[in-house]
Amino acid sequence: MTSTNFSIRVSKIKRLIKWAALLSVIYAASLTYLIIDLTTPAEVAIVEAPVDPDLIENGIHMRTGLLEAEGMMSVVTNCTSCHSAKIITQNRMSAERWNETIKWMQETQGLWDLGGNQEIIVNYLVKNYPPTSKGRRMILENIEWYEMEL
């Protein structure tokens, strides 16, 4: 009958719409994929993280640049979640001044109580990053000599 025919037609159209919707979703998704991929600026180089986050090569902890020695992992765990290890390895301080720095970080920067780890950390820092005397003026070192064009 006409009403049955009508409902068959309706369900056919419904199916058609569903397919069309599905296809357009797939189309949109693949388009988005392409767009994102194409708009990724080529000059943004991606430094691949080492496979093992605690990989050590030639005595250096690759992820942080810290020297491998007793207590290093305590430093990695407690000191590098808020700031870069680079601010540690740049500095040279006595045990007293490292302890003061830790106290300052606890008072103002939200560092937690390090418990027994504090001594391990400070010992590691003093031993592996000791201050060296620079005097009133350092001699010029590590000069890269080059022929100068006239």
Binding site for other proteins (CB under 8 A): 32-33, 35-37, 39-41, 43-49, 82-84, 86-87, 90-94, 97, 101, 104, 108-110, 131, 133-138, 140, 143-148, 150
Q: How many CB atoms lie within 10 A of CB 53?
A: 11
Six-digit token string for 30: 């693949």
Measured CA to CA, the distance from residue 57 to residue 107 in angstroms comes to: 36
- Closer to other proteins at the Cβ: 14 or 92? 92
- Closer to other proteins at the Cβ: 6 or 33? 33
In angstroms, give the least distance from the CB of 44 to other proteins: 5
- Closer to other proteins at the Cβ: 115 or 146? 146
In angstroms, give the least distance from the CB of 65 to other proteins: 10
- Closer to other proteins at the Cβ: 72 or 102? 102
Residue 106: C-alpha distances to residues 75, 78, 109, 111, 116 (Å)? 15, 12, 6, 4, 15
Q: What is the DSSP string of 65-115?
A: -PBP-TTHHHHHHHHTTTS-THHHHT----HHHHHHHHHHHHHHS-PPP-T
| Phi and psi angles of residue 57, each rounded to the nearest 5 degrees, phi first | -130, 130
In angstroms, give the least distance from the CB of 89 to other proteins: 10
In angstroms, give the least distance from the CB of 80 to other proteins: 8
Tokens 């620079």 locate to: 134
In angstroms, give the least distance from the CB of 2 to other proteins: 45
- Closer to other proteins at the Cβ: 1 or 38? 38
